[in-house]
Structure 1
């Protein structure tokens, strides 16, 4: 720590930021203080990372560069050891190729391979070559020597945009080519950088990956659908839907389900963890429907404005009772009948009260109250005490 020019105070602040950056209950931050996290990380060897790009837009890397708790610089300099990254490294050409070969040889069986972008499989090598080698060969060579692989983004997870019809390159994800390898998928276009950060931090702490679902996604970030915590859920339940961009409902922030929002069928944490630490910086937050970018069967396959099926929730407005009621006019006859009934009740009450009042004055009625002037006879002089 001191060798890196970092004070103990700064390191504790950094560990506190790790706890903020891992909001999903990771093992390294579960019920631990910053001091405990610091003690654990101080004993961890920085895992070497090799980051490869294939058919991608570099959006996943750009998203990672925007983290602030901790920042990406802290991550690559103090938590992990980034050995190769074509976008961030200064070298290029032959120098970059030599850096990759050296890193793979030095850390064989120990490094984590991060893959960004899909891999083309049609016409071997015609669509993509790296240093003269087809993309499939590069993945097989480097991935085969990795301890584990993280596929970041929808493209690396299952093909993403390049795999959309007609899929001219035969784009696939890493797991399609290396099914027996230890792989964790972090889909998204781009994924939230803190999901990636949480996975790397857990691996740096104890050498394990988080528990995953059937699609190899970490459960801590993909265990619920966006619709569960969507800020527009109340409008969905009330049946308030945007019908056209710019209409009154859209300006009022109504639900985008009928505009093709895929939130009810998309598992991700976007509705609770926004991008760049700025509220509402995510598709639905800026008035656009979710496209389901984390779902292999949805994103770039289901048309954007096609409404998805509801599997686990009730369709509106059956979810809740209507919030408005239609009222009709009251006929004069009904008004008259109600008036008669009220008058009769009032008259009966008045008569009963008069009878009760007279009963109280009647001495023959048991329990009646006799006025004071009748309860005692006037006293005579003989009854008065003699002085």
Structure 2
């Protein structure tokens, strides 16, 4: 990570510290203390977040400072065609995490679910925030965007503005744009066939660069982590082909799943409630889409890192992938039209019972080859 310019990061944070806080008589540091979080708790969180964003451990103090200064960050959050689940993921918890408390204290200039204003006052707040912080604010959009002849299916506010019009206008002068959740990233359930509202992801209606943070919903750490990344670097993170940050969506659910050992051993739940389900066997044969889904749920989990669907006994449904409503169903059956490449080359949907044997055999071959290479190198060294 030698390419990280710490001097530039400190300069950005110094400039951010000069901006006005949302609450003059309060701060993120004070809010954490009131909630019972010690400085030690906060630094442990900052260390975990540093590792989470694939940054060197030496940057922990810098990440902590960025989090403390995030209450100077003007943020506009739009709700389009969605269920508000992404906001709920972050804010509705009986034991607020440091992530959610930080989000409570960032400068939310506009958020329809949280603000008290309604009607004309809400519309004025949005217009005022866009103008006041032109070129500075962070735009987060939740929900798909109806387009075409059915654009009017989503009409918002007293001016009768469509969701698409609001999104395009807010995108024009945003410093950074994040599509929060699968609906905003790729259209979500609104875009499922036959897509009667012609819904699309945010990136389809603006020519500005959009960072997709998919999931139904995404974890709070994926939301807050992206904001912190922008505060630190002022640039977009490395993205995959679907516009997702690689640091959060670089691995498959399958790669770090706690049931992966069961998969490798060929131990599968055959039907919900059977003996395999009781023993925690792999859920592939009852529809888990973990091998095809890129996200960090298996590492980060939900509800203060308490659990996630696979731990609770239901397979991943692939919700962070584009068009998952159409491509991943039926959710409780293996994907019939997709072959999972195995050492036997026959496809996991037909021979999942044999996958474990194949993987173990491949591992054995690899270990044997490694041993042979080691012997050959050793003999060469002796001859030399």
Q: The TM-score by the shorter chain falls in which range?
A: 0.7 to 0.9
Alpha carbons of structure 1 residues 121 and 276: separation in structure 2 relative to 1, 3 Å: same
CA distance in 2: counterparts of 1:176 and 1:237, whole angstroms = 40
> Could you tell me which residue of structure 2 aligns to residue 111 of structure 1?
137
Query: Is the counterpart of residue 136 in structure 1 residue 160 in structure 2?
Result: no
Q: Identify which of 251, 258, 275 aligns with 2:278.
A: 251
Q: Deviation of residue 150 (structure 1)?
A: 0.3
> Could you tell me which residue of structure 2 aligns to residue 235 of structure 1?
262
Q: Deviation of residue 291 (structure 1)?
A: 0.5
> Could you tell me which residue of structure 1 aligns to residue 373 of structure 2?
none
Structure with greater Cα Rg: 1
Superposed CA RMSD in Å reads 2.8
* Aligned 8 A contact 1:157 1:174 in 2: yes
Q: Deviation of residue 167 (structure 1)?
A: 1.0
1:149-228 to 2 correspondences below 5 Å: 149-178=177-206, 180-228=207-255
Query: Is the counterpart of residue 320 in structure 1 residue 357 in structure 2?
Result: yes
Give CA deviations for 1:198-227 in whole Å, capped at 9, x if unaligned. 110121223223221111101111111111
* Aligned 8 A contact 1:225 1:266 in 2: yes
> Could you tell me which residue of structure 1 aligns to residue 367 of structure 2?
none
Query: Is the counterpart of residue 268 in structure 1 residue 295 in structure 2?
Result: yes
TM-score (norm 1): 0.74
- The count of aligned residue pairs is 317
> Could you tell me which residue of structure 2 aligns to residue 70 of structure 1?
98
Q: Deviation of residue 292 (structure 1)?
A: 0.3
CA distance in 1: counterparts of 2:60 and 2:308, whole angstroms = 31
Query: Is the counterpart of residue 289 in structure 1 residue 315 in structure 2?
Result: yes
Secondary structure of the equivalent of 1:275?
coil
Give CA deviations for 1:139-198 in whole Å, capped at 9, x if unaligned. 1111112122100000000011111111111111001112x3121000000011101111
Q: Deviation of residue 233 (structure 1)?
A: 1.4
Return 5+ residue gaps in structure 2 as ranges: 1-16, 18-23, 361-384
CA distance in 1: counterparts of 2:148 and 2:80, whole angstroms = 14
* Aligned 8 A contact 2:46 2:60 in 1: no
Q: Deviation of residue 111 (structure 1)?
A: 0.9
* Aligned 8 A contact 2:263 2:355 in 1: no
> Could you tell me which residue of structure 1 aligns to residue 121 of structure 2?
95
Indicate the structure with greater helix content: 2
Secondary structure of the equivalent of 1:276?
coil
CA distance in 1: counterparts of 2:359 and 2:171, whole angstroms = 56
* Aligned 8 A contact 1:266 1:295 in 2: yes
Alpha carbons of structure 1 residues 61 and 23: separation in structure 2 relative to 1, 3 Å: farther
Alpha carbons of structure 1 residues 240 and 45: separation in structure 2 relative to 1, 3 Å: closer
Q: Identify which of 66, 75, 83 aligns with 1:49.
A: 75
Alpha carbons of structure 1 residues 239 and 211: separation in structure 2 relative to 1, 3 Å: same
Alpha carbons of structure 1 residues 164 and 22: separation in structure 2 relative to 1, 3 Å: farther
Alpha carbons of structure 1 residues 228 and 26: separation in structure 2 relative to 1, 3 Å: closer
Alpha carbons of structure 1 residues 42 and 186: separation in structure 2 relative to 1, 3 Å: closer
Secondary structure of the equivalent of 2:145?
coil
